[in-house]
């Protein structure tokens, strides 16, 4: 890892003016393991911030199987991906971690005082004594529409999986995609936007039956127009589409919304000078620390002999990694093991009284 002896203030950050947030621990990734990491750090009185590229917590559990049942969380016979994320958020609430959503951690550099400087895609910077990489299979990013030069319209005429749809009121909007997210977006825009067109490569959808039925009803009512085909060119105000029978259709629009799904990208982690084995970070099994002191890796991102990509394994790793961090955050102090059942100190931290 590159060592930086220059002044810590913003060095290496994308926005050099950002004053770094100083913290004992920075967790990269708010998937189930990153969230539980915050809990274990909280029990050990290590304050933390959590950054995730997504606009919400939950990682794969929410993005890939939010409504599906999950049966192998200890003590929880059944929950859903989303239910698990909600329970974890509730569990860590007493420790008030600082959440930073919609930001991808871009750089990680060692400073002269041994702390770690991190910067995000949104220009935030953190100066952390310990870092917990809980990045799973990478940052989830929307799949882009594959047309040359289209990226120059991003943020003005082109949007991917937008959270708020108010800005499209009164506009002519084309939504591309055929899954639940695409259909939900088109349905939410009908009646709000001036014109809504759903563009998909075929007249069949990979979405919940009820959502498809609602879409068909809105199409029949003339509230949504369906165009089947593939986009071939976009100039910011018109999208050219080739239909299955090789016709060219031009769609005039104010905004193009891409809902082509999301896919994980390891992204910047590969540039942090960490050892990587098949896109995973090797760790020891005492503390789940990487070869870099103070940089721990937990959950799906790490690898070690016998590794299993299961949430319960990530929870164990997060527990021992938090203990590993005590040596750095509280040097020379022996930290006693306490039970949440009986420790009055832990009850105070958890905000419960007995």
Residues binding ligand FAD (CB under 6 A) = 28-34, 51-54, 59-61, 64-65, 70, 72, 104-105, 134-140, 267-269, 299-300, 309-312, 314
Closest CB 352 distance from ligand FAD, rounded Å: 26
Assign 40 to helix, strand or coil. helix
Residue 207 to residue 179: CA distance in whole angstroms:
5
> Of 68 and 167, which CB lies nearer to ligand FAD in the complex structure?
68
The residue among 252 and 310 lying less far from ligand FAD, judged by its C-beta, is 310
Cβ neighbours of 107 (radius 10 Å): 18
The single-letter DSSP state of residue 12 is: T
Least distance from C-beta 307 to ligand FAD, angstroms? 11
CB of 305: closest distance to ligand FAD in angstroms?
18
Tokens of 113: 């005082």
The percent helix, strand, coil of the chain (3-state, each to 5) is 25, 30, 45
Q: CB under 8 Å to 176, separation ≥6 — which residues?
A: 145, 182, 198, 199, 200, 231, 256, 257, 258, 259, 260
The distance of closest approach from Cβ of residue 36 to ligand FAD in the complex, given in angstroms and rounded to an integer, is 8
CB 28 within 8 A of CB 135: yes
Q: How far is the CB of 60 from ligand FAD (least distance, A)?
A: 4
Closest residue by Cα to residue 287 from 2, 21, 23, 44: 44
* Nearest CB to ligand FAD, comparing residues 266 and 346: 266
Closest chain position to ligand FAD (CB): 136
Cβ proximity to ligand FAD, 92 vs 311, nearer residue: 311
Residue with smaller CB distance to ligand FAD, 55 or 244: 55
Query: Closest approach of Cβ 14 to ligand FAD, in Å?
Result: 13
Partnered with residue 131 across adjacent β-strands are: 26, 295
Q: How far apart are CA 246 and CA 248, in angstroms?
A: 7
Task: Compare residues 44 and 105 and give the one whose CB is closer to ligand FAD.
Answer: 105
């Amino acid at each position: 890892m590159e060592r930086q002896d220059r002044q810590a203030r913003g060095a290496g950050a994308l926005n050099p003016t950002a004053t770094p947030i100083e913290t004992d621990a920075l967790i990269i990734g708010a998937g189930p393991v990153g969230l539980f990491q915050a809990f274990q750090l909280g029990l050990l009185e290590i304050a933390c911030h959590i950054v995730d590229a997504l606009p919400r917590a939950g990682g794969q559990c929410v993005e890939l199987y939010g409504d599906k049942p999950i049966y192998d969380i200890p003590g929880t016979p059944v929950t859903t991906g989303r239910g698990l994320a909600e329970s974890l958020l509730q569990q860590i609430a007493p420790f008030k971690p600082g959440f930073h959503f919609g930001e991808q951690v871009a750089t990680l550099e060692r400073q002269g005082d041994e702390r770690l400087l991190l910067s995000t895609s949104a220009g935030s910077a953190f100066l952390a004594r310990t870092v917990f990489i809980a990045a799973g299979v990478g940052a989830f990013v929307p799949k882009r529409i594959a047309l040359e030069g289209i990226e120059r319209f991003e943020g003005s005429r082109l949007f991917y999986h937008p959270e708020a749809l108010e800005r499209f009121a009164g506009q002519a909007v084309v939504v591309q995609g055929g899954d639940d997210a695409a259909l939900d977006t088109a349905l939410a825009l009908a009646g709000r936007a001036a014109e809504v067109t759903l563009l998909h490569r075929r007249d069949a959808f990979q979405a919940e039956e009820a959502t498809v039925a609602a879409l068909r009803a809105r199409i029949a009512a003339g509230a949504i127009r369906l165009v089947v085909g593939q986009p071939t060119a976009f100039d910011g105000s018109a999208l050219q589409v080739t239909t299955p029978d090789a016709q060219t259709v031009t769609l005039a629009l104010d905004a193009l919304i891409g809902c082509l799904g999301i896919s994980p990208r390891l992204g910047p982690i590969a540039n942090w000078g960490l050892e990587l084995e098949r896109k995973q970070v090797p760790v020891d099994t005492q503390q789940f620390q990487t070869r870099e002191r103070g940089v721990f890796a937990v959950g799906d991102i790490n690898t070690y002999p016998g590794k299993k990509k299961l949430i319960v394994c990530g929870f164990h790793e997060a527990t021992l990694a938090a203990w590993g961090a005590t040596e750095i955050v509280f040097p020379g102090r022996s930290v006693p093991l306490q039970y949440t059942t009986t420790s009055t100190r832990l009850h105070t931290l958890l905000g419960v009284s007995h």
